[in-house]
Amino acid sequence: MKFEGIAASPGIGIGPVVPLEREEFAVREIPVPRERVELEVERFLSALEASRHDIRAIRDGIAAELGEHDARIYDAHLLILDDPVLQDTVCGGIRREGRNAEFLFRGFMEGVAAHLENVKDTYLRERTADVVDVERRVLRHLLGNGPRVLPRLDRPSILIAHDIGPSEVALLDRERVAALVTEVGGRTSHGAIVARGRGGAVDGFSGHVEIDPEPPAAAFYHTRSLQLEQEGRSLRMLQSEPAVTLDGRRVELGANIELPGDVDHVLAAGADSIGLFRTEFFYLNRAELPSEEEQVRAYREVAERMSPRPVIFRTMDLGGDKVASYLGTTHEANPFLGWRGIRFALFHPEVFRTQIRAIYRASAHGRVRMMFPMVSSQDELARALQLCADVADELRSRGVPHDPGLEIGLMIETPSAVWISDVLAREARFFSIGSNDLIQYTLAMDRDNERLSHLYEPLEPSVLRSIHHTVEAGHRAGRWVGICGEMAGDPRTAILLLGLGVDELSMSCYDLPRVKAALRSVRHEEAAEVAARALELSAAGAVKELLRQRLEVLLPSFLVAKRSPL
């Protein structure tokens, strides 16, 4: 029996299947007599306190095991419990309506979860699981259910559940859960994030789950998991080696991150730099703007820990689907064609200026670069650069330490920016091609629309020509050109990009070691020849076939190996 799911964590897990029973809560509406109202409020507040106590203990355990970064997920759980609206609604409801705590509490939490489920932003939508996790914890205390019973595993097994919250994943036995399969939840749900920190999924590369596999498939998975162990060992040996081709061409390998705590992963992956620090997280999931000091602290920590390696801070890419309601963003009919990126930032010059000032201040503590997202005209670039010049002047006159030579570039994400890249190169110090957006705008397909996912094709000739055109324009003006979209993280595509003349590749920390191994096993001139040939082809299928034929010979087999028998 085969199933297909969403791959959440790379790796292969093999073992007996153990189901995790669904947890049911018998919540009924019970009238509370007037004289017992204050006792009911007390009972509710004690359940919140007991839940806080549990979560803090889990948080400390995860901080010790996986680090502060992963532990922060539980801070979000504490924030849910401390929400004054939650407390007012439930305590007020008990007093005004004389109804019981669990009934009012569940009603409130269901409302929050239903609201989150309907938002368009995938990251926010997947936060529903956190709300449900907290809801269940509090209900357990209110109903006296005791902790959820997790099965005892006596050997590595595949755990199958309807859903599992991050606090439950934290309690699983790391050594004995070979894989975790759930009916609900996405790649970025916190249950998956904590599970990823703790080990494999069934076929975490493809999302394939096979129950009772036929002997050939079972043999394939066994061999594959042994190979993965071996690959992991050889990739770890490259950690401190440079990404240099056999004929000596050096490529800067950067990492894409979202949080200061991710620097640990960047260093472990053996990156040369951070090629994309997405700063949006400072602005999302909160009620008010982040202060300049808060931003300086975070940017400085990253710059200092990476020094002397460079870090590119991408200025806020808000608006559209990344809604920060306190800045007045609302749902738009066409969010990706809407009020987002640099357009949004220039509309809020004070907010933008504060961020630019924080980045400049951090530049006194490391090698900092800055870039703007979603630029589509020279005017936008000129206005953003003017703000930077004003901020640098102000810092100089106040004697605030900063790097006056900080490199400022922009992301090439729109076809418009591609076609005026010669113009943009006059004022920008570098380009970083944001291929995720460039592909969606070039092919006119919403990158979040699951129905169109088959059209999302980095190897379309129009995309390759756009990259080629940008690299040529950048190089003619003496600028370096990088790429920081997902396509940089695939070893074969990375070779093609090397051949197209890209100077820097930035990707997730997970993909980086494999790309480094790929770059180290080819000659630049071979890659250039493959790229020149690819540019002559008329369809993505033909480019794929070319890469398959040429790179199968050039790359070590584990970088081109078929990853799944399905």
Distances (CA, A) of 183 to 4, 20, 119, 209, 509: 11, 12, 20, 12, 27
Contact pattern from residue 309 through residue 348 relative to ligand PEP, giving x for each residue in contact according to CB under 6 A and a dash for the rest: --------x-------------------------------
Residue 436 marked in a binding site: yes
Q: Which two tokens stand for residue 532?
A: 């020149």
Type of residue at 324:
A
319: three-class secondary structure by DSSP: strand
Contact 430, 479 (CB under 8 A): yes
Active site residue 190: yes
The residue range among 8-16, 164-172, 416-424, 436-444 that interacts with Mg ion, by the rule CB under 5 A, is 436-444
Binding partner at 262 among ligand PEP, Mg ion, none, C-beta below 5 to 8 Å by kind:
none
Q: What are phi and psi of 161, to 5 degrees?
A: -140, 160
**Residue 444 buriedness (CB in 10 A; 0-12 / 13-18 / 19+):** exposed
Binding partner selected for residue 295 from Mg ion, ligand PEP, none, CB under the kind-specific 5 to 8 Å limit: none
Residue 422 structure tokens: 């010669």
Q: How far apart are CA 250 and CA 230, in angstroms?
A: 26
Q: Are 185 and 166 in contact (CB under 8 A)?
A: no
Residues of span 274-313 touching ligand PEP by CB under 6 A: 276, 278
| Binding partner of residue 435 among Mg ion, ligand PEP, none, CB cut-off 5 to 8 Å per kind | ligand PEP
Ligand-binding site membership of 136 (annotated): no
Does 133 count as an annotated binding residue?
Answer: no
Shortest Cβ 413–ligand PEP spacing (Å):
5
If binding is defined by CB under 6 A, does position 257 make contact with ligand PEP? no
Min separation Cβ 379 and ligand PEP, Å: 21
Give the C-alpha separation, 48 to 476, whole Å: 62
As a whole number of angstroms, the distance between CA 207 and CA 201 comes to 8
Q: Per rule CB under 5 A, is residue 482 in the interface with Mg ion?
A: no
2: three-class secondary structure by DSSP: strand
Are 274 and 310 in contact, with CB atoms under 8 Å apart?
A: yes
Q: Pattern of binders to ligand PEP over 123-152, x per CB under 6 A? A: ------------------------------
Q: Minimum distance from CB of 256 to Mg ion (Å)? A: 11
**437, 457, 503, 526: which one binds ligand PEP (CB under 6 A):** 437
- Closer residue to ligand PEP in complex, CB, 314/479: 314
Compose the 209-238 pattern: x for residues touching ligand PEP by CB under 6 A, - for all others. ------------------------------
Q: Which stretch binds Mg ion (CB under 5 A): 24-32, 325-333, 353-361, 426-434?
A: 426-434
Q: Catalytic residue among 388, 484, 509, 524, which?
A: 484
Report the greatest alpha carbon distance in the chain. Answer: 85
Least distance (Å) between residue 432 CB and ligand PEP: 8
Show the binding pattern over residues 372-411: x = contacts ligand PEP (CB under 6 A), - = does not.
----------------------------------------
- Lookup: tokens for 5: 């799911």
Is 484 an active-site residue? yes
Interaction residues for ligand PEP, span 473-532 (CB under 6 A): 484-485
3-state secondary structure of 313: strand
Q: Of 177-185, 224-232, 435-443, 551-559, which segment contacts Mg ion by CB under 5 A?
A: 435-443
Cα–Cα distance list, 71 to 1, 37, 193, 306, 459 (Å):
36, 37, 11, 22, 38
**Residue from the set 434, 461, 489, 499 that interacts with Mg ion by CB under 5 A:** 434
314 is in an annotated binding site: yes
What is the C-alpha separation between 407 and 385, in angstroms, rounded?
A: 11
Of 5-13, 70-78, 102-110, 435-443, the segment contacting ligand PEP by CB under 6 A is 435-443
Give Cα separations from 478 to 40, 107, 429, 498 (angstroms): 71, 61, 9, 17
| Chosen residue from 436, 508, 521, 564 binding ligand PEP by CB under 6 A | 436
**Positive/negative CA dihedral, 537, 542, 548, 549:** negative
Residue count, binding to ligand PEP (CB under 6 A): 10
Please give the C-alpha separations between residue 157 and each of 63, 124, 168, 213, in angstroms, as whole numbers: 25, 31, 16, 15
Annotated binding site for Mg(2+): 413, 437
- Which parts of this chain interact with ligand PEP (CB under 6 A)? 276, 278, 317, 413, 434-437, 484-485
Annotated binding site for phosphoenolpyruvate: 278, 314, 436-437, 447
- Catalytic positions, written as ranges: 190, 484
Annotated binding site: 278, 314, 413, 436-437, 447
